[in-house]
Amino acid sequence: MSAPIQSNAASADTIVLPEPRRSGQATLEAVMSARRSVRDFTTVPITLAELGQLLWAAQGETGGGAGRTAPSAGATYPLELYAVAGAVGDLPPGIYRYDPRRHAVHGIATGDRRRALAAAALSQSWIADAAVVLVIAAVFKRTTAKYGRRGERYVHIEVGHAGQNVCLQAEALGLGTAVVGAFRDDAVKALIGADEPGEPLCLLPIGRA
């Protein structure tokens, strides 16, 4: 990338994220009670640590590779997480793929793609105002190879777990988000440039309210 990379970057297109926090001041009950869908955001950026915390909440490793923050049928881990970043401190605008094993992001495309993503989401313009939009995609064959067609249901269950984790983590960080399911699948898939055939299932625009 041409823009500055963090000093802890492992390579030109890989950025190792700050270590996620595993405890906080907000109780789970308080976070669940306060959670609401938010679609109005300020222009204040979020931090790289906050982005890392959100990504970890969705798919982070919790036991040295033996588990993740969201349960997965048969530990098949079909989900791929992408961040369409536009206003994240110390992170150049672009599209990044989350690497749970390294707690890092790998650059896929440079430049602010939030408006293009909003257009793909049936022109919901408010999405472009979010500091970052998380895209949860799924490689169904990872799960269906073990469970057959029933595995498709398990993948959708897992997306729900991961999405709720993000919503609760955002609330705990004082950020706003909402779950978006209305978008053109092919347009979003083309935008994120998935490394392997993955189907986008959920968008989570996140920012300061």
Q: How many CB atoms lie within 10 A of CB 37?
A: 10
pLDDT score, position 111: 97
Provide the strand spans (E) within the chain: 9-11, 14-16, 79-85, 94-99, 104-110, 132-138, 176-177, 199-207
Residue 39, Cβ density class (10 Å: 0-12 exposed, 13-18 middle, ≥19 buried): middle
Contact 188, 202 (CB under 8 A): no
- pTM recorded for the entire structure: 0.92
CATH label of the domain that carries residue 117: 3.40.109.10
Tally of structural domains, the chain = 1
Domain annotation covers residue 95: yes
Domain annotation covers residue 1: no
The pLDDT tens digits along the chain (209 residues) read 323 333 333 345 899 999 999 999 999 999 999 999 999 999 999 999 999 999 999 999 997 767 999 999 999 999 999 999 999 999 999 999 999 999 999 999 999 999 999 999 999 999 999 999 999 999 999 999 999 999 999 999 999 999 999 999 999 999 999 999 999 999 999 999 865 668 999 999 999 99
Write the DSSP symbol of residue 19.
P
- Following CA atoms 204, 125, 199, 194 in sequence, which dihedral angle do they give, to the nearest 10 degrees? -90
Q: Tell me how far the alpha carbon of residue 115 is from its chain's centroid.
A: 17
Domain annotation covers residue 148: yes
How far is residue 162's CA from residue 156's CA, in Å, rounded to a whole number?
10
**Domain of residue 152, residue span:** 9-207
pLDDT score, position 65: 67
pLDDT score, position 66: 73
Provide the b/e sequence for 83-104 (b: ≥16 CB within 10 Å): bbbbbbeebbbbbbbbbbeebb
Domain annotation covers residue 3: no
Element housing 119 (H / E): helix 114-120
Domain annotation covers residue 2: no
CB neighbours of 25 closer than 8 A, spacing ≥ 6?
A: none
Contact 63, 102 (CB under 8 A): no
Q: Tell me how far the alpha carbon of residue 22 is from its chain's centroid.
A: 18
Contact 108, 99 (CB under 8 A): no
